[in-house]
Amino acid sequence: MELFTLPFEEVLKWPFYEFITVDGTLSVTLPSYIGLVESGVLPERARSAVRLLESCEVCPRKCRVNRLAGETGFCRTGRRAVVAAFHAHFGEEAPLVGDSGSGTIFIAQCNLRCSFCQNFEISHLGEGAEVEARELAGIMLRLQERGCGNINFVTPSHVVPQILEALVLAAERGLSVPLVYNSGGYDRVETLRLLEGVFDIYMPDFKFWDNRWPLRFCDADDYRETAVAAIGEMHRQVGDLVVSPGGTAVRGLLVRHLVMPGGIAGTEEIARFLADRISRDTYINVMSQYRPCGMARSDPALNRRITDREYGEAIAATLRAGLTRLDGIVLRGS
């Protein structure tokens, strides 16, 4: 996020989403990628990212398939991204929604494919349409035109190069709202570095602490180490979540954690990691809405909803760890 102090007439020429009056001028916050486009850095980043598709190591799976030639690996996605749906979404965390919703783009396929996924048709079956870069850019712009305060990419990890390519075109055509990277937390640090100064808001899941569970449900026995490194990199880039006086997320890290039956998500360990090794000011959404979806009904560890008691214990563990910024929960005295 860059902070500019400009005369009012100049400000009116700029796309912006937040401003504060300061001594007769306006301080305008612009999404970080605007500066990268003007300096020519973003187009070069996009080209570098696309080259990664030739022997794909975009995500921790490191399939090394040639996606430029149409080969596909674990994520079953070739040269083009597949978009399942896009719309103004009002069900996201309050700081992302604002008055007009979060401009959410659901990317099809996934590099985790959790057996219990609530978006099974999208993540496992890949329902959606392939899009060229200019079409994905057009989707971003349409969401901005509808008034959405951000563009929120859901499950972006396997299509980072395609998003960067599209962003160059969208920014040249006037995109000016911040971007949200809404991933499962299974991201490669090397790929995230290409996104420095591009995404202002990172919203990863931290799903499990004990790798036995992601091995069983997502075929990812390195999930914990990968998420630890990825969330550390995201926080290094954007810091703790900053919310404007109007309640809108401006920049920073927001972690999602879904409480699972039988305590298998490892809420306590994850909360301690966030508090001790990321920041006590980490903003976290401890989510209660788990329900058996996809293949979960046939797995005894997953085939029920959580109880109120389990959710209460998860919240208590999060607070005990020292985290106090919990989405939807106002602490007495705060």
Q: How far is the CB of 241 from ligand SF4 (least distance, A)?
A: 27
Single out the residue of 3, 248, 234 nearest to residue 256, CA to CA: 234
Pattern of binders to ligand SF4 over 59-78, x per CB under 6 A? x-xxx-x-------xxx---
Pattern of binders to ligand SF4 over 284-303, x per CB under 6 A? --------------------
Q: How far is the CB of 116 from ligand SF4 (least distance, A)?
A: 19
Euclidean distance between CA atoms 109 and 56, whole angstroms: 16
Q: How far is the CB of 205 from ligand SF4 (least distance, A)?
A: 17
Which stretch in 50-58, 99-107, 201-209, 266-274 sits in contact with ligand SF4 by CB under 6 A? 50-58
DSSP state letter for 246:
T
Tokens 């599209």 sit on residue: 166
Note the residue count of the chain. Answer: 334
Identify which of residues 158 and 251 has a Cβ nearer to ligand SF4 in the complex: 158
DSSP conformation letters of 60-112: TT-----GGGT---TT---SSEEEEEEEEESSS-HHHHTTT-EEEEEESS-SS
Q: How far is the CB of 52 from ligand SF4 (least distance, A)?
A: 8
Pattern of binders to ligand SF4 over 92-121, x per CB under 6 A? -------------------x----------
Tokens 């990268």 sit on residue: 36
Residues 7-26 that bind ligand SF4 (CB under 6 A): none
Q: What is the number of the residue whose Cβ is closest to ligand SF4?
A: 73
Strand-pairing partners, residue 25, are 22
Q: How far is the CB of 167 from ligand SF4 (least distance, A)?
A: 18
Find the helix or strand (DSSP H, E) in which 270 lies.
helix 267-273
Q: How far is the CB of 62 from ligand SF4 (least distance, A)?
A: 5
Identify which of residues 56 and 271 has a Cβ nearer to ligand SF4 in the complex: 56
Euclidean distance between CA atoms 213 and 176, whole angstroms: 40
Identify which of residues 61 and 124 has a Cβ nearer to ligand SF4 in the complex: 61
> Which of 1, 30, 36, 56 forms a contact with ligand SF4 (CB under 6 A)?
56
Euclidean distance between CA atoms 254 and 201, whole angstroms: 7
Q: How far is the CB of 86 from ligand SF4 (least distance, A)?
A: 21
Q: How far is the CB of 74 from ligand SF4 (least distance, A)?
A: 4
Q: How far is the CB of 216 from ligand SF4 (least distance, A)?
A: 19
Residues 183-202 that bind ligand SF4 (CB under 6 A): none
DSSP state letter for 240:
B
Identify which of residues 154 and 314 has a Cβ nearer to ligand SF4 in the complex: 154
Please give the backbone phi and psi of residue 89, each rounded to the nearest 5 degrees, phi first: -110, 125
DSSP conformation letters of 142-203: HHHHTT-SSEEEES-GGGHHHHHHHHHHHHHTT--S-EEEE--S---HHHHHTTTTT-SEE-
> Which of 18, 54, 57, 299 forms a contact with ligand SF4 (CB under 6 A)?
57
- For helices 133-145 and 160-172, give the axis angle rounded to 10 degrees: 60
Pattern of binders to ligand SF4 over 157-186, x per CB under 6 A? -x----------------------------
Asked whether 164 and 43 are in contact (CB, 8 A), the reply is no
Residue numbers at the binding site for ligand SF4 (CB under 6 A): 56-59, 61-63, 65, 73-75, 111, 158
